[in-house]
């Protein structure tokens, strides 16, 4: 886990003393992300003395992050836990959160489908969405009476940006009577124009639940094309794509296969078709985690946002994870310091126009009724 320069400054100042550090040749911090400033990288070959186990909530990170990072995070984790209690708040975290958030402070973790379902079940007054904006909006749509916060309003999604309500109205004119299935990675306004929503975890079942020969599937062209390979229903796709998953290629995966005999490849259905053709398993983020926990492969390439491999690797130490590492810049806007600030200052509240929310809720609730 590494912090942005800004957070590092803040967290560092909160600690009166640094934990015990020994320089040992050959040892390195366990997790770091190239896009984030990592102060430990400036200390060559750093390792923390195998000191006593952590006390308190930071103990959840033991064995997942280096002890030095846990020690630095500890005051922040304690502050977040205290604020959660004071606000009667829960933290919902998507599987793409960094390990400090995912293992350290999240109350509920999962894919978009699980977060939508569990957001509607929580008795908490305040939901902090450690995920992107459409996820926070979905939580608000199913919980209009609750306060939903997102630590960074700029945490968007290339798919959500790719389509507007006006686009859907034009498509309906072009394909009269054809139902619109909308991926949850869309704005509340787009959901409000849709017949039903879906996620990557239930897309095939949602399409088939409509009992029609043809649907418009918006906005992810790759998820749409993958659904088309799994059903007899004709799929009309839009040209949206995920800026993270569209960068993977089948050619790079063939190199993994050729150089690592027996390695398993699992991929998210937002990937292009040549990638999915190389995959041994295709599924949502939660689907991939379930597959890994069932199959327990010796070695695996996870073709998705790479924080997820860090999160799952911590739970499956016997599996060797290879990460063709693409980070989602939107997901990575969510940080521990941002979560603390959200709870402390009750910011940034996600609001949905009530008239839009009523129509969007119908599309989300129809999705939640589909059995998978």
Rule CB under 6 A: is residue 185 a binding residue for ligand SF4? Answer: yes
Q: Using N-to-C axis directions, what is the helix angle for 306-315 and 285-295, rounded to 10°?
A: 30
Residue 20 CB, shortest distance to ligand SF4, in Å, is 38
Rule CB under 6 A: is residue 158 a binding residue for ligand SF4? Answer: yes
Rule CB under 6 A: is residue 285 a binding residue for ligand 13P? Answer: yes
Rule CB under 6 A: is residue 328 a binding residue for ligand SF4? Answer: yes
Rule CB under 6 A: is residue 223 a binding residue for ligand SF4? Answer: no
CB 185 within 8 A of CB 160: yes
Residue reference for tokens 């929580």 = 122
Nearer to ligand 13P, 151 or 201 (CB): 201
Residue 263 CB, shortest distance to ligand 13P, in Å, is 22
Residue 172 CB, shortest distance to ligand SF4, in Å, is 24
Q: Which of 157, 190, 233, 343 binds ligand SF4 (CB under 6 A)?
A: 157
Rule CB under 6 A: is residue 200 a binding residue for ligand SF4? Answer: no
Q: Which of 84, 103, 330, 333 binds ligand SF4 (CB under 6 A)?
A: 330
Distance CA(310)–CA(101), nearest Å, equals: 12
Rule CB under 6 A: is residue 187 a binding residue for ligand 13P? Answer: no
Residue 117 CB, shortest distance to ligand 13P, in Å, is 12
Nearer to ligand 13P, 162 or 185 (CB): 185
In the complex, which residues of this chain contact ligand SF4 (CB under 6 A)? 132, 157-159, 185, 242-244, 270, 305, 328, 330-331
In the complex, which residues of this chain contact ligand 13P (CB under 6 A)? 95, 111-113, 185, 199-201, 242, 268, 270, 284-285
């Amino acid at each position: 886990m590494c912090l942005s320069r800004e957070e590092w400054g803040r967290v560092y100042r909160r600690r009166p003393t640094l934990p015990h550090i020994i320089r040992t040749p050959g040892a390195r911090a366990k997790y770091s992300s190239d896009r984030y400033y990592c102060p430990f990288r400036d200390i060559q070959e750093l390792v923390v003395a195998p000191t006593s186990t952590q006390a308190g909530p930071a103990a959840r990170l033991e064995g997942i992050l280096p002890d030095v990072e846990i020690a630095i995070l500890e005051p922040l984790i304690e502050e977040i836990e205290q604020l959660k209690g004071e606000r009667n708040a829960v933290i919902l975290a998507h599987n793409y959160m960094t390990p400090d958030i995912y293992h350290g402070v999240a109350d509920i973790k999962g894919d978009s489908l699980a977060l939508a379902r569990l957001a509607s079940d929580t008795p908490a007054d305040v939901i902090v969405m450690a995920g992107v904006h459409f996820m926070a909006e979905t939580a608000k749509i199913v919980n209009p009476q609750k306060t939903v916060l997102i630590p960074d309003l700029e945490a968007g999604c290339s798919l959500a940006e790719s389509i507007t309500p006006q686009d859907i109205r034009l498509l309906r004119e072009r394909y009269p009577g054809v139902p619109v299935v909308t991926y949850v990675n869309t704005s509340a306004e787009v959901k409000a124009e849709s017949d039903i929503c879906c996620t990557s975890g239930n897309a095939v079942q949602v399409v088939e639940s409509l009992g029609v020969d043809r649907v418009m599937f918006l906005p992810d062209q790759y998820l749409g094309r993958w659904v088309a390979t799994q059903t007899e229903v004709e799929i009309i796709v839009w040209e949206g794509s995920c800026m993270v998953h569209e960068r993977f290629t089948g050619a790079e995966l063939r190199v993994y296969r050729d150089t690592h005999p027996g390695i398993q490849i699992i991929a998210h259905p937002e990937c292009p078709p040549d990638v999915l053709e190389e995959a041994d398993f295709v599924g949502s983020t939660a689907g991939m985690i379930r597959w890994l926990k069932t199959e327990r492969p010796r070695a695996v390439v996870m073709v998705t946002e790479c924080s997820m491999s860090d999160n799952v690797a911590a739970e499956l130490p016997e599996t060797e994870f290879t990460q063709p590492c693409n980070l989602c810049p939107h997901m990575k806007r969510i940080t521990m310091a941002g979560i603390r600030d959200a709870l402390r200052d009750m910011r940034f509240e996600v609001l949905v126009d009530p008239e839009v929310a009523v129509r969007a809720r119908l599309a989300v609730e129809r999705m939640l009724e589909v059995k998978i």
